[in-house]
Amino acid sequence: MVDSAISCLLAAIDEGLLELEWEDERGARVDLTTEGEGEMCGWYGGSESWRSMYAKERYVDYFADVRGFFDREGTESETEGEAK
* CA dist 74 → 5, 63, 66, 68, 84 (Å): 38, 22, 16, 13, 15
- Are 39 and 11 within 8 A, CB to CB? no
pLDDT (0 to 100) of residue 84 = 45
Q: What is the pLDDT of residues 27-80, one digit of tens each?
A: 999 888 888 777 777 666 666 666 666 666 665 565 566 656 666 666 555 455
pLDDT in tens, 1-27: 566 787 788 888 888 888 888 888 999
At residue 48, the pLDDT reads 64
Rounded distance between C-alpha atoms, residue 21 and residue 24, angstroms:
10
Of 31, 36, 30, nearest to 14 by C-alpha is: 36
